[in-house]
Amino acid sequence: MFEEDAAVKKILTDKYTPAIEEMKAEIVGSTPVALDGERANVWTGETNLGNLMTDSMLAKAKTIDAEAVIALQNGGGIRSSINEGDITMEEVLTVMPFDNSWKSDKKLYYLLYILLMKCISCPRSTNFTPLFFARSQAFFVKVLFVTTHASLVL
Protein backbone atom coordinates (compact mmCIF):
# COMPACT_ATOMS: atom_id res chain seq x y z
CA MET A 1 0.00 0.00 0.00
CA PHE A 2 0.96 3.63 -0.28
CA GLU A 3 2.09 5.74 2.60
CA GLU A 4 -0.34 8.40 3.73
CA ASP A 5 0.61 11.86 2.47
CA ALA A 6 -0.14 14.37 5.24
CA ALA A 7 -0.27 17.35 2.85
CA VAL A 8 -2.78 15.63 0.57
CA LYS A 9 -4.84 14.47 3.55
CA LYS A 10 -4.97 18.04 4.87
CA ILE A 11 -6.20 19.36 1.51
CA LEU A 12 -8.87 16.67 1.36
CA THR A 13 -9.92 17.24 4.96
CA ASP A 14 -9.89 21.04 4.86
CA LYS A 15 -11.13 21.75 1.35
CA TYR A 16 -13.16 18.85 0.01
CA THR A 17 -14.66 17.04 3.00
CA PRO A 18 -16.81 20.01 4.15
CA ALA A 19 -18.18 20.54 0.62
CA ILE A 20 -18.94 16.84 0.23
CA GLU A 21 -20.65 16.67 3.63
CA GLU A 22 -22.75 19.74 2.75
CA MET A 23 -23.77 18.19 -0.57
CA LYS A 24 -24.65 14.85 1.08
CA ALA A 25 -26.84 16.60 3.68
CA GLU A 26 -28.89 18.49 1.08
CA ILE A 27 -32.57 17.53 1.20
CA VAL A 28 -33.65 16.74 -2.35
CA GLY A 29 -37.13 15.38 -1.70
CA SER A 30 -39.42 13.62 0.71
CA THR A 31 -41.55 10.51 0.77
CA PRO A 32 -44.64 9.71 2.84
CA VAL A 33 -43.79 5.98 2.72
CA ALA A 34 -40.65 3.88 2.98
CA LEU A 35 -39.17 3.10 -0.45
CA ASP A 36 -38.18 -0.55 -0.77
CA GLY A 37 -34.73 -1.14 -2.20
CA GLU A 38 -33.94 -4.33 -0.27
CA ARG A 39 -31.77 -6.68 -2.30
CA ALA A 40 -34.04 -9.70 -1.87
CA ASN A 41 -36.96 -7.68 -3.21
CA VAL A 42 -35.37 -5.71 -6.05
CA TRP A 43 -33.62 -8.81 -7.37
CA THR A 44 -36.84 -10.79 -7.63
CA GLY A 45 -39.71 -8.40 -8.27
CA GLU A 46 -41.22 -4.98 -8.49
CA THR A 47 -40.81 -2.43 -5.68
CA ASN A 48 -42.08 1.09 -5.10
CA LEU A 49 -38.50 2.41 -5.24
CA GLY A 50 -37.84 0.71 -8.58
CA ASN A 51 -41.10 2.15 -9.90
CA LEU A 52 -40.16 5.64 -8.69
CA MET A 53 -36.74 5.37 -10.30
CA THR A 54 -38.02 4.22 -13.69
CA ASP A 55 -40.94 6.68 -13.68
CA SER A 56 -38.43 9.46 -12.98
CA MET A 57 -36.08 8.24 -15.71
CA LEU A 58 -38.90 8.15 -18.23
CA ALA A 59 -40.17 11.60 -17.25
CA LYS A 60 -36.67 13.04 -17.68
CA ALA A 61 -36.14 11.18 -20.97
CA LYS A 62 -39.40 12.64 -22.32
CA THR A 63 -38.01 16.16 -21.77
CA ILE A 64 -35.16 15.24 -24.12
CA ASP A 65 -36.95 12.88 -26.52
CA ALA A 66 -40.75 13.20 -26.56
CA GLU A 67 -41.02 9.74 -28.15
CA ALA A 68 -39.40 7.94 -25.20
CA VAL A 69 -41.72 5.15 -24.07
CA ILE A 70 -39.81 2.94 -21.67
CA ALA A 71 -37.25 3.10 -18.88
CA LEU A 72 -35.44 0.02 -17.58
CA GLN A 73 -33.60 -0.45 -14.30
CA ASN A 74 -31.59 -3.51 -13.35
CA GLY A 75 -32.58 -4.56 -9.83
CA GLY A 76 -28.91 -4.98 -8.97
CA GLY A 77 -28.42 -1.26 -9.53
CA ILE A 78 -30.77 -0.41 -6.65
CA ARG A 79 -28.48 -0.60 -3.64
CA SER A 80 -30.52 0.55 -0.63
CA SER A 81 -33.94 1.48 0.73
CA ILE A 82 -35.07 4.97 1.71
CA ASN A 83 -37.02 5.55 4.92
CA GLU A 84 -40.12 7.71 4.94
CA GLY A 85 -39.50 11.42 5.46
CA ASP A 86 -36.91 13.73 3.97
CA ILE A 87 -34.58 12.29 1.30
CA THR A 88 -30.99 13.49 1.31
CA MET A 89 -28.52 13.50 -1.56
CA GLU A 90 -26.49 10.96 0.44
CA GLU A 91 -29.44 8.56 0.34
CA VAL A 92 -29.87 9.09 -3.40
CA LEU A 93 -26.17 8.38 -3.99
CA THR A 94 -26.38 5.31 -1.76
CA VAL A 95 -29.38 3.96 -3.66
CA MET A 96 -27.88 4.77 -7.08
CA PRO A 97 -24.08 4.78 -6.76
CA PHE A 98 -23.40 4.03 -10.42
CA ASP A 99 -22.92 6.52 -13.24
CA ASN A 100 -25.58 5.03 -15.49
CA SER A 101 -26.50 6.67 -18.75
CA TRP A 102 -29.59 6.48 -20.89
CA LYS A 103 -30.00 5.75 -24.56
CA SER A 104 -32.71 6.80 -26.97
CA ASP A 105 -32.24 4.91 -30.20
CA LYS A 106 -34.89 3.58 -32.54
CA LYS A 107 -32.55 0.74 -33.56
CA LEU A 108 -32.88 -0.64 -30.04
CA TYR A 109 -36.68 -0.87 -30.32
CA TYR A 110 -36.44 -4.02 -32.44
CA LEU A 111 -34.12 -5.70 -29.92
CA LEU A 112 -36.46 -4.75 -27.08
CA TYR A 113 -39.39 -6.12 -29.07
CA ILE A 114 -37.58 -9.45 -29.54
CA LEU A 115 -36.75 -9.60 -25.83
CA LEU A 116 -40.33 -8.91 -24.77
CA MET A 117 -41.76 -11.39 -27.28
CA LYS A 118 -39.38 -14.03 -25.93
CA CYS A 119 -40.52 -13.22 -22.40
CA ILE A 120 -44.21 -13.57 -23.11
CA SER A 121 -43.65 -16.80 -25.02
CA CYS A 122 -42.35 -18.46 -21.84
CA PRO A 123 -44.93 -20.55 -19.97
CA ARG A 124 -46.68 -18.57 -17.30
CA SER A 125 -46.75 -19.94 -13.78
CA THR A 126 -50.03 -21.20 -12.39
CA ASN A 127 -49.95 -18.90 -9.37
CA PHE A 128 -49.69 -15.69 -11.46
CA THR A 129 -46.33 -14.61 -10.08
CA PRO A 130 -44.29 -12.24 -12.25
CA LEU A 131 -43.02 -13.71 -15.49
CA PHE A 132 -39.28 -14.27 -15.35
CA PHE A 133 -37.04 -14.78 -18.35
CA ALA A 134 -33.35 -15.70 -18.55
CA ARG A 135 -33.03 -15.32 -14.82
CA SER A 136 -29.38 -15.15 -13.97
CA GLN A 137 -28.61 -13.84 -10.51
CA ALA A 138 -30.02 -10.28 -10.42
CA PHE A 139 -31.56 -10.23 -13.91
CA PHE A 140 -35.25 -10.57 -14.49
CA VAL A 141 -37.84 -9.12 -16.79
CA LYS A 142 -41.41 -8.59 -15.69
CA VAL A 143 -43.96 -8.08 -18.40
CA LEU A 144 -47.35 -6.55 -17.63
CA PHE A 145 -50.18 -6.33 -20.16
CA VAL A 146 -53.45 -4.47 -19.88
CA THR A 147 -55.75 -5.50 -22.68
CA THR A 148 -59.40 -6.16 -23.37
CA HIS A 149 -58.70 -8.32 -26.41
CA ALA A 150 -59.40 -11.88 -25.22
CA SER A 151 -56.81 -13.48 -27.51
CA LEU A 152 -54.05 -11.35 -25.99
CA VAL A 153 -54.75 -12.08 -22.33
CA LEU A 154 -52.00 -14.28 -20.92
**pTM of model > 0.85:** no
pLDDT band at 26 (very low <50, low <70, confident <90, very high): very high
**pLDDT beyond 70 at 32:** yes
Q: Which residues lie below 8 Å from residue 119, measured CB to CB, with a gap of 6+?
A: 131, 133, 141, 143
* Domain residue spans of the chain: 1-102, 105-154
pLDDT digits (tens, 9 = 90+) for 44-79: 888 999 999 988 988 888 898 888 777 878 888 999
CA distance 98 to 74: 12
Mean pLDDT computed over 17-25: 97
Q: Which residues lie below 8 Å from residue 142, measured CB to CB, with a gap of 6+?
A: 45, 46, 130, 131, 132
pLDDT digits (tens, 9 = 90+) for 86-145: 999 999 999 999 887 777 777 777 777 777 776 666 555 444 334 443 333 444 444 444
